[in-house]
Amino acid sequence: MKYFDAHTHLNFAAYKGEEDEAVKRAIDAEVGVNIVSTQYDTSLSAIALAEKHDGAYATIGLHPIHTSKSHHDEKELGEGGKAFTSRGEVFDMQKYLVLGKNPKVIAVGECGLDYFRLEEDTKKTQAEAFIQQIELANSLGKPLMLHIRDGKHAGGVNAYLDALEILKAHAKVKGDTHFFAGDWDIAKKFLDFGFTLSFTGVLTFTHDYDEVVRNTPLDMLLSETDAPYITPVPHRGKRNESAYIPEIVKAVARIRGEEFEKVSSQLLANAVRVFGLPPHRA
């Protein structure tokens, strides 16, 4: 492998019937993949898909928006599953602990805090599920895959600062801050705590995160697609694919003014280190 997609959802309904083909397209493009889950069912499907392919791995966990009544995303769950999103999932430590012992599982998540559609009672529920998943990661000795999102209706409350406070109180492991969308001051806090920052195809069509990408030490960056979302240029308008990771690596190199080969090899080495991947094949 020359590249690693640190965060992709090839197990989502958007790929129904062609999940294996999407993984194969990534492998053919020399991209290893971390298939990330958002609830128990997608944790099962992530593992099942990863087990069928060399170079494919899984992350298990419960997305903060799915800890209570949440938005129904057909790209994630298909047309069904609306009963699930209407009630949410109560995190079951024992069920996830069993899954987490699978050798294909490389991280716990995506977990954290999502204040985009924040209500006060859901804030507490999200924090409780986040702490439980941190404890799961501690037990397994596997890194965390963080989902942190601020919201314009959160009354000035900063999800990143709240998440960091919880991490400092409970986490014995490190991990990755998926789809980082904070400023440089917030970025420094997560970097100082030992968490990498990962970036998506958004780098190919906006300059909002250029400062953070330039300032972050190269050995603390990861590339991700967050597929099927956030398709990079020149594939805008299409469903995203892990095979498009080279476009994101090119964007990182361009923003930093560094050689592509230097950046691509270091980002792969970072993924090997963070997720404990076999270095000979990622």
In a domain, 282, yes or no: no
Both tokens of residue 151? Answer: 């919201």
Give the count of domains, the chain: 1
Both tokens of residue 113? Answer: 């805090």
Which among 259, 202, 262, 241 has a CA at the least distance from the CA of 29?
241
In a domain, 267, yes or no: yes
* Per-residue confidence (pLDDT) for residue 282, from 0 to 100: 47
d(CA 185, CA 136): 29
In a domain, 212, yes or no: yes
d(CA 172, CA 100): 16
* Per-residue confidence (pLDDT) for residue 24, from 0 to 100: 98
In a domain, 281, yes or no: no
Counts for the chain of helices (H) and strands (E), in that order: 11, 8
Domain with 99 in it: 3-275
Among 45-59, 85-99, 152-166, name the most confident range: 45-59
pLDDT in tens, 208-247: 999 999 999 999 999 999 999 999 999 999 999 999 999 9
d(CA 50, CA 262): 28
* Per-residue confidence (pLDDT) for residue 41, from 0 to 100: 96
Which one-letter amino acid corresponds to residue 83?
A: A
- Residues constituting the chain: 282
3-state secondary structure of 200: coil
Count the neighbouring beta carbons within 10 Å of the beta carbon of residue 19: 20
In a domain, 222, yes or no: yes
In a domain, 280, yes or no: no
Which one-letter amino acid corresponds to residue 180?
A: F
pLDDT in tens, 85-138: 667 899 999 999 999 999 999 999 999 999 987 676 789 999 999 999 999 999
Mean pLDDT computed over 139-167: 88
Which among 52, 66, 57 has a CA at the least distance from the CA of 32?
57
CATH for 24: 3.20.20.140
* Per-residue confidence (pLDDT) for residue 264, from 0 to 100: 98
